[in-house]
Structure 1
Amino acid sequence: MKNNAQYAARLSVAPMMDWTDRHCRYLHRLLSCEALLYTEMVTAPALVRGGAVHLLDFSPEELPVALQLGGSDPGELAQAARMGQAAGYDEINLNCGCPSDRVQSGTFGAVLMKDPARVAACVAAMRAVVDVDVTVKCRIGVDDQDPEKVLPEFLARIVAAGCERVTIHARKAWLQGLSPKENRDIPPLDYDLVYRMKGLFPNLHISINGGVTSLTQAQTHLEAGLDGVMIGRAAYHQPTDILCTADRDIFGLDHVSDPVDVVRAMLPYIEAHLSAGGRLHQISRHMLGLFARRPGARAWRRHLSEGAARKEAGPELVEAALALVAPAPERQAV
């Protein structure tokens, strides 16, 4: 595996709050050796002022991994970025795309699209103190902004500040009047605008995000000239569909993973987590979609969902659930 975030960014799994924790990432890495994985957003104040360094914990097996930071104070973000690099992350990413009220109240996320000068200052401050890539995840605009006008200006600012990679969610964010859930579908996506940005900034590594639900769609964006594709909910809910063949279809490698083998490879990890005082459901909740749309998928989900929260639940529950999916004799690895 090439431990290179820019190379891996050809396909990445989006940072998703409450979903892409370290257990989720460990699972996803077993499915794909190459895709770039992101943490949940970690706020710079939590690290710098709150001392919540446990939020930086991850397993070396997850690499390459990017740390997504939330914040708007250049000095604080610089300290958090330095902590992220020291922890071993391959990339520091600034969140300029999340529209939730909780994020807005902290003056970061998508609201930062309205203040490109501040974002540039934040990028420059982080670039000054770390050697790993400093990247930005943004929207095409917010509220009543004209994306055709504001997005090029925004990108020009962060490029001048030292940002060489950006992920653009191809949908405008509405900070008032729409819930984050509604904002997933409204207003419409504008992929063509992102394509035009690649033409305006040919040296900027641009990944596209938003509405991508298959590797076929990802390949279409790559063939259109973009450098990478970031997939969110589809990679979480149907991880096998997105990640099992990603190393072959997106990275051109001779590697396809099998979800049955991946479940078995998770068992030692589960054992270690339980031995450290953890609970099975903290890991198994990320595994529910492994057999989506396959025979036995419902039985797999039900068995895990109903049993994993029990205090005594362990690897044997996972093996019993797997027996409801995998045929006998043992399936051969692909």
Structure 2
Amino acid sequence: MSVAPMMDWTDRNCRYFHRLLSPRARLYTEMVTSPAVVHGDRARLLGFDDSEHPVALQLGGSEPAELAEAARIGAAEGYDEINLNVGCPSDRVQSGRFGACLMREPSLVAECFAAMRETVSIPVTVKCRIGVDEQDEDADLTRFVDIVAAAGCTVFVVHARKAWLQGLSPKENRDIPPLNYGRVYRLKRERPTLTIAINGGIDSVDDVRTHLEHTDGVMLGRTAYHEPYRLAEIEHALHGEPLPDRDDIVARMRGYTDAHIAAGGRLQHITRHMLGLYQGLPGARAWRRVLSENAHRADADWSVVERALEARRSARLERAA
């Protein structure tokens, strides 16, 4: 199991929180462009806590030499995997000639992959869609995978939707194109020597078990973010990991949060990722309300989290009375 790279969501604070819930899941950074890695603030872009391992760096780009240099930098920073984004449908990504539009250029993706693979000793993988726009989900996906695999790629994470780069917004691309899990299953059957993981619309233990009957791995996206305790439930179901107590998870976030604030960060940077921890339980709304209304303040500290916990307990008792 892994947690998908999600822009504006899977930053280092989110990953630290997710690791407490899931000792085994592979975590991914937000997509970082290769120019940003090569020329930007590496401490800000690439920093992570040692507890996050195994953690993968997802890169966006289409220039082989620059991607190779970014991969080298990522490996030197200690990442366990470099993943090439060939699935993001945003306008900004398209204008930069990377992301999902690269599915139309499998030979270029293969060249980029080969350059990265030659530069680093850690695994290099590809995350893609089943196609874009007018592409044929069968012939064009097979052609894409075969060309990139010929360059040495053995691991593909496939989001089981097309990306419509013309006519749909990035948000709409997450929901409107229909899921086609069978196409990903068929890819695994047709290319059994490749490692194929599936992504898209997966939100329960039963979903994960079903997909693992047909593929090598499952990547969770929005469910892992909006209902993070699902990560713990899936690990418990698959591996027998003890189910952690939610309040204990919150308590274990305190030291990390205090250090973040002491270094100049805001409480909201961390608690925004924790809003869904009690999803579906009595008092969840009170927990979210206190955090949402107070964590953004410049002077907010851990006492806000304590107030949110107390509000949740009070709401739970009122409901039980």
TM-score range, shorter chain: over 0.9
What is the distance in 1 between the residues matched to 2:43 and 2:248?
A: 33
Q: 1:48: how far off?
A: 1.5
Task: Say whether the 8 Å CA contact 1:244–1:259 is kept in structure 2.
Answer: no
Task: Say whether the 8 Å CA contact 1:110–1:173 is kept in structure 2.
Answer: yes
Q: 1:255: how far off?
A: 2.3
Q: Residue 156 and residue 108 in structure 1: after superposition, are their counterparts in 2 closer, same or farther (change >3 A)?
A: same
RMSD: 1.4
What is the distance in 2 between the residues matched to 1:123 and 1:19?
A: 26
Task: Say whether the 8 Å CA contact 2:197–2:218 is kept in structure 1.
Answer: yes
Please point out which of 57, 64, 77 is paired with 2:54: 64
1:106 matched to 2:93? The reply is no
Partner of 1:212: 202
Q: 1:256: how far off?
A: 1.7
Q: Which runs of 5+ in 1 are unaligned?
A: 1-10, 328-334
What is the distance in 2 between the residues matched to 1:183 and 1:53?
A: 32
Q: 1:49: how far off?
A: 3.3
Code of the aligned partner of 2:293: E
TM-score by length of 1: 0.92
Code of the aligned partner of 2:246: P
Please point out which of 223, 241, 249 is paired with 2:237: 249
Q: 1:326: how far off?
A: 4.6
Partner of 1:229: 218
Code of the aligned partner of 2:263: A
Q: 1:116: how far off?
A: 0.1
Task: Say whether the 8 Å CA contact 2:5–2:58 is kept in structure 1.
Answer: yes
Q: 1:51: how far off?
A: 5.0
What is the distance in 2 between the residues matched to 1:248 and 1:52?
A: 35
Q: How does 1:34-53 map to 2 (within 5 A)?
A: 34-50=24-40, 52-53=42-43
TM-score by length of 2: 0.95
Partner of 2:228: 239
1:258 matched to 2:245? The reply is yes
Please point out which of 115, 121, 132 is paired with 2:122: 132
Q: Which runs of 5+ in 2 are unaligned?
A: 315-321
Partner of 1:123: 113
Task: After superposition, give the CA deviation of every residue in 1:201-240 in whole Å (9 maximum; x if it has no partner).
Answer: 11111110111111211111002x2111111111100001
Partner of 1:289: 276
What is the distance in 1 between the residues matched to 2:16 and 2:307?
A: 21
Task: After superposition, give the CA deviation of every residue in 1:42-92 in whole Å (9 maximum; x if it has no partner).
Answer: 000111134545201000011110100000001000000000100111100
Identity level (%)? 60
Please point out which of 169, 176, 201 is paired with 2:166: 176
What is the distance in 2 between the residues matched to 1:70 and 1:150?
A: 21
Partner of 2:317: none
Partner of 2:319: none
- The count of corresponding residues between Structure 1 and Structure 2 is 315
Compare relative contact order (CA 8 Å, sep 6+) and give the higher one, 1 or 2.
1
Partner of 2:305: 318
